Chains A and B, each alone.
Chain A
């Protein structure tokens, strides 16, 4: 069993995935990274977190990453896993997620990148609920953005600042 992060990193190193962070050179949009528990802490450890960072660095520019503390294998749980997102107990889930929210807010980043759908839903929800200023975006979305293949209808989770960047076939919006 392997993680897609490992392949993204490998394909970028091999030049098969021609990503670029040029789009963010001037903009300097800041990103922080949510390390998913299942993939990092529980399964592959720090090496996969490093792969994820390598990919993100290539996509948004290393200088635009702001790390959470603690991170990688020691990252805090988002609070949405284990069926919590579907099970009801919304108040309890959000209370649990407050730790994550504070951690993200402390970075001051504009975006929190998540690599797992579950984290994405929770991080997005707590950001909204607690009135955070950040947007939540999947790594896949940013890879596509940097490749210039992200269509106009695939930008629901991007903030207004990135809605018009590198739009692929803008005519397909309608």
Chain B
């Protein structure tokens, strides 16, 4: 306990960097009621993602699902956000850092600036943001939906200060502002400042510096973007004409290929190139030919293989396995030429393209490197921080954590996971700050007054090009009882909400329809935003015109617009019939349930327990440790058995953790903050109460019927192979030939996804075999070698040591046959163009993982959770909420989410713990008014509801008149609506979804039919 008080002495966490990772880390901490200072050197937050056009795999933007929550009034005052701010010095150590912060003057008073753009118009050299394609000028708004929503001036570039000052209609320009220097105390630091992108200017053979039509991926994103230099039109920079053929060249600045390139794989580029190619064909012109020149297609993330297949099969993106050596534009020619060769034919191919996109990777940002050096964080030679092999977010300096691309190249979901993991560890070092809870808004009589409906159309123009926003607003105005309707463009920008609030107050609006995207993301945001102007949260209806109109009818604008109007009219009818309702507050349970006692589950339990939560850890088998018990070492040399022993010891001895082995989950009820789960502990029933649940149930090592596995003693899986190398070194010393076959039982019809960890595990085993027996000849037969991130360096090492890597195609797989003492492996070497037979002493199959489908389905049923097609648990949002689940209070971590290596599982465990702490930090719980209620006068006590309820909530109680009637406890009710649908007397109504609301919507929809 003493240790805890000491560490929790200083109240804040400093988060450096306001990109997506920094925002996530800061929000997790603020939601867990820890004070956070979020600084970014840029004038507004958002980072790299705000510059992207869209993100994979959904091919939409979605910044609006995260950024609004950084609004200053939305996080209970825990979040202190500072733009234009850099860390100039750091003193002290874990638990007690003193940081010096310097805030550069913005020269614009953010409180006064209305972002009218007058300064930008008066000073025409002022431009909005577009990296590499437009210079930065004195007044600069980085992207159209910037937070804070105000301009910033680079005074050094301004010649006419007085004129600039005078041009502002609200006097917001302050030409004589000075930098502000402050000191802050903090217990821990999270570095989330992102990475720089590789600059290919010096690679003359790609022509980037000389040819306008050769662009980097980020520049291509800007060209695609509606807020980019061409206003969302795909045009060639050289001549302003639309391109007919676009090519991507992969691994520019990654995998050690060019001068100045990192040796690592940047991990994200294969996927963003696929996305850019798909978006090019989907959004601009399906006639545009898209070709990606690649080395290995690294689609290793959850469901990414399916995305790759979709790109190839559905979108016709052409993939060429080649490293082009030249991009040329011969004198007098309008087009670019790419010169390359392919595996199959040793000849020189010249192909013409209109544009060439260089898929540039990540590299360490020099400013960030300097800060890391000031903090004495150990760095690799390439500048990225060294992190622990079992803790990817912990640096060599206690109390200093990293996440996102600053830690190494990665995509958004992994950035979000690391951000939450970093906030878990950083947050453990600072105390929870109690704040007075705001009172719930009262349900006033005006709420129910004569309906005055406001319609807000919140579409992003670049997401819904098919819809005519202006026409939709005009149409909304014509609907009876609609008193105001307006388009509201910056749904991702919290500051722009003020204009909306003002409009609502001015028009006396008491009911609101939001025409935007899914209510799953929109409703909560608008409920929080409109509560201060007195709109009852149950008098807001969302019309999902993005998914249901713009997207599904993307190619048919007329149909999309007609449907959008109908959806809005239905929502208006529904909201008119809605009733204002009051939530109520109940005490919350602050315990956690962790399902699964592998390394992931134990890590999650320990992180939660360390932050004071009481944890029940439930394991199905008799022993803790899970699949990791079969592993010896990680590729970096981390001792897995020592890790397990340490985790088991800590878990079983922690006073806050109760371990139940040989235990299954049998039933479950309740809601976030108030769950009840029934356990069968060695066959005996036990019920526990908890506020949050983490699923860490792992996955199953695959054992496919292939390549004589299980039939021939020479054939084994990589897991078995690792054991043999570890336990029988004498045997290994005798081996002459070893063959490894990749993608066995993965990336096929039965198991379409990539198992992610097999490429590195075969290289790990190859290196281990060579250590015992340097003379062994090792062949790795692969389809795409997916050694992402730093695993690439081990791949290169294996090649240097003479491991022979041979590519096979899925139509021509290798053959394995028993041949006396050996197993003969026959394969085609593409480069030699002939068949090779190897008499192998050992054939190691990279069999990967499959979902534990049966047990996952059983758990999913008990908990009411969705699974993916291949049986893994589905997260809420593949991009931005990678560990949250659809059901509030549930989180997923480890291989239960998708296969991954131990370090990644542990990162996810910490992320899930961090997300769970945002729930468990609450002493009380707002119980939504969405529950079923019984009209006792109509009830005949027929017991239909009692039998129908999946949660056994309705009971027949006796009232004061002695009559037995159904009673539904609002606290226990899940609001599923089953009883309301079943009740023969229509005595049961579900709040927020009463018959009258639904029927009003339907009447509106069918008005013409009925008439």
Q: Residues of A with Cβ closer than 8 Å to B?
A: 41-43, 45-46, 69-70, 72-74, 99
Contact = CB atoms under 8 A, between A and B. Distances in A.
B249 to A, nearest CB: 14
B330 A74 contact: no
Q: Which of A43, A69, A72, A73 has the most CB of B within 10 A?
A: A73
Nearest to A72: B204
A69 B326 CA distance: 12
Interface in B176-212: 202-205, 207
A42 B259 CA distance: 7
Contacts of B328: 70, 74
B348 A99 contact: yes
Contacts of A99: 348
6 contacts: A45-B203, A45-B204, A45-B259, A73-B203, A74-B204, A74-B339
Nearest to A99: B348
B326 A74 contact: yes
Given A45-B259, A73-B204, 16 more contacts: A41-B204, A45-B203, A45-B204, A46-B204, A69-B330, A70-B326, A70-B328, A70-B330, A72-B204, A73-B203, A73-B205, A74-B204, A74-B205, A74-B207, A74-B326, A99-B348
A72 B204 CA distance: 8
A74 B211 CA distance: 14
A46 B339 CA distance: 18
Interface string B326-365: 1010100000000100000000100000000000000000
A115 B202 CA distance: 21
B602 to A, nearest CB: 49
Contacts of A41: 204-205
A6 to B, nearest CB: 15
Nearest to A73: B204
A172 B326 CA distance: 47
Contacts of A69: 330
Contacts of B348: 99
Q: Interface SS of chain B: helix, strand, loop or mixed? A: mixed
A43 B258 CA distance: 9
Nearest to A69: B330
Nearest to A40: B204
A29 B439 CA distance: 93
A63 to B, nearest CB: 19
A46 B207 CA distance: 10
B255 to A, nearest CB: 15
Nearest to A46: B204
A61 B339 CA distance: 32
B326 A43 contact: no
Contact of A43 (B259, B330, B339): B259
Contacts of A70: 326, 328, 330
Contacts of A43: 259
A69 B205 CA distance: 13
Contacts of B207: 74
B804 to A, nearest CB: 18
Interface in B258-296: 259
A114 B330 CA distance: 23
Contacts of A74: 204-205, 207, 326, 328, 339
Contacts of A42: 259
A124 B202 CA distance: 31
Nearest to B202: A45
Nearest to A77: B325
Contacts of B204: 41, 45-46, 72-74
A69 B328 CA distance: 10
Question: Which one of A43, A69, A72, A74 has the greatest number of beta carbons of chain B within 10 Å?
Answer: A74
A158 to B, nearest CB: 31
A45 B348 CA distance: 22
Of all A-B residue pairs in the complex, the 6 with the closest CB atoms, nearest first, are: A73-B204, A73-B205, A46-B204, A45-B204, A74-B326, A74-B205
Contacts of B205: 41, 73-74
A74 B326 CA distance: 6
A41 B258 CA distance: 10
A134 B326 CA distance: 27
Nearest to B348: A99
A97 to B, nearest CB: 13
Contacts of B330: 69-70
Contacts of B203: 45, 73
Contacts of B326: 70, 74
B387 to A, nearest CB: 32
A46 B209 CA distance: 11
A41 B324 CA distance: 13
Nearest to A95: B346
Interface in B390-407: none
A73 B204 CA distance: 6
A45 B202 CA distance: 7
Interface in B989-1006: none
A37 B381 CA distance: 26
Interface in B921-958: none
A70 B331 CA distance: 10
Interface in B300-337: 326, 328, 330
A74 B205 CA distance: 5
